[in-house]
Structure 1
Amino acid sequence: MSKQTPTIMQGPVALKNVAAFMAMTTRLIERSPHLPGFGVCHGPSGFGKTYASIFAQNRVKAARIEVGDSWTRRTLLHRVLQEFGERARDRTPIADLAEMARNALAVDPSRPLIVDEADKLIDKGMIEILRELQEESTAPVILIGEEKLPTKLLAVERMHNRVLHWFSAEPCDLDDTRVLASAFAPRVEIKDDLLDTIRLRSGGRARRIVVNLDHAAVVARNNGYKTLDLKLWGSEEFFTGEPPTPRHVEAYPRRASVKAVA
């Protein structure tokens, strides 16, 4: 019987941030009626916030939107309605759209609404719409954004004291890196010395770690390695996300001008 080739896992994996995001989601769903209904997940880009939210979305059948740079109030409400299976005419007044969205969330108050890139709603002065939707429907709303999201929320007086749970996404540790290696580079055994170096050079960002693990899998395959450590990695470069440094390119010498012969 031939040995079965491992398959590469696609989608969220069981990292610590995924477990913590799921715990926050469960707390919001099971909270007492008198408690606030907002949760906030914040952290630098690449820490796996979006993947964690997708995992929770699939587990609890949450609605999820990702705010775009060009969104208006109308766009926001239309997208929320679409996530709950509702549609409205393009010229429906904003107030009517908001009422429809509140009613959609209130159908099942235990079903969360996850809002990724929530920073943009604060920057555009649109976060109050979500506050109204949450308070009147009582459905949990989870905001996801960059590291400054809590500071931005503090500037909106009627928002920051309605947050039940603040979750700061953390960089991957060695255990997380092992989990990622098993999921995304299953055909090679990567030793801890290389895994920890990948983690450090990636700044603990899951996205960059996965890129380095993919490169490790290529290095192992091209060299016929079944295991790979820091010594075998040799002079291979790590993906750090940093742009290349400017090159000092000498200017091309100017050609001597040739005078036309009359």
Structure 2
Amino acid sequence: MRPTFVKTENFNRFLAGLLAMKDRGAQECCFLILDGDPGLGKTTIINRWVTQEGGIYLRAKKEWTAAWMLRELLGELKTSPEYSFEKMYRQAVRELSRRSAEAERDGSTFALVVDEADHICRRESMLETLRDLSDHLEIPVILVGMGRIRDSLTRYRQISSRVAQPVEFKPCSLADVQALVKGLCEVEVAEDLVEQLLHLSKGYTREIKEGIAAIERLGRRSPGHVIDCAAMDGVQLLIDRRTGNPIKVRAER
């Protein structure tokens, strides 16, 4: 499989959300929520964007505290943390301000990204620390979760009022699957198999990539051939993650 990043409709939704946040009227609206079921490519897309733009990526933990979060943030900022929360907060403000100014000079969009933010979306102390950093520096904070963040934040008006634009990731369209197959798959794939891959994967990026790998395994045994449903009839394309059972290609009879 080619190590290529393919721009999908979800990627475009994310960029549109960023643009809407940049165009916000109130300067304190610096939170962007990126929500959606697991397997829709959120982490892949956000990591790609962070790498390109030079932002900061953190992955929330179930037992995170505000101090633990600041220590990890300072680690990503290549700064040795002080011992008190107050000093760590000041360090974070200083380093984030420096990185934000550098990004502005370079024409980049600097942001602090917290993945798996479902772990912290009901913990006011964590959210308040992020709000303080965002308000103080006017830098975007992107909260990435699995479909529950927006609902959880409604209880915290001081946070929810700062959400400039929620972005919901959705299952891939046929055009997305066509683009993923064209960009990633190293064998030629017929349209009927692309359509079945969409149907069997239900549009989940994780499953689509798993299916592409299965197609490649068969395709390498028949170099130069276009792989269609007939060629893969009865061959396992995916594994049902709930049951562990194989999901096989079925050619039309």
Q: TM-score, normalised by structure 1?
A: 0.82
Q: Which stretches in structure 2 are left out of the alignment for 5+ residues? A: 105-109, 246-253
2:64 counterpart residue number: 71
Give 1 or 2 for the bigger CA radius of gyration.
1
Tell me which of 74, 88, 92 is aligned to 1:97: 88
**Partner secondary structure for residue 165 of structure 2:** strand
Give the number of equivalent residue pairs. Answer: 235
In structure 1, the partner of 2:29 is: 36
Q: Distance in 1 between matches of 2:87 and 2:22?
A: 27
1:177-205: CA deviations, max 9, x gaps?
Answer: 1222123212x111121112111211211
Percent identity among equivalent residues? 22
State the Cα RMSD in Å: 2.1
Whole-angstrom distance in 2 between the partners of 1:134 and 1:140: 6
Q: What CA distance in whole angstroms lies between the structure 2 residues aligned with 1:167 and 1:149?
A: 11
**Equivalent AA in structure 1 for residue 236 of structure 2:** E
Residue 116 in 1 paired to residue 115 in 2? yes
Instruction: Map residues 213-252 of structure 1 onto 2, 5 A cutoff.
Output: 213-224=212-223, 226-239=225-238, 240-244=240-244
SS in 1 for 2:221: helix
Q: Deviations over 1:237-259 (max 9, x none)?
A: 231423237xxxxxxxxxxxxxx
CA contact (8 A) 1:106 1:138 kept: no
Tell me the equivalent position of 1:57: 50
1:146-185 superposed matches below 5 A: 146-185=146-185
Partner of 1:248: none
- 1:23-62 per-position Cα deviation (integer Å, ceiling 9, x unaligned): 3234435655635111110000000111111121123211
Superposition deviation, residue 225 in structure 1:
5.9
Conservation of the 8 A alpha-carbon contact between 2:111 and 2:139:
yes
The aligned residue for residue 139 of structure 2 is 139
**Structure 1, 71-80 or 112-121: larger mean CA deviation:** 71-80
Q: Secondary structure at the match of 2:121?
A: helix
The answer to whether the 8 Å contact 1:202/1:208 transfers is yes
Unpaired runs of 5+ in structure 1? 1-7, 246-262
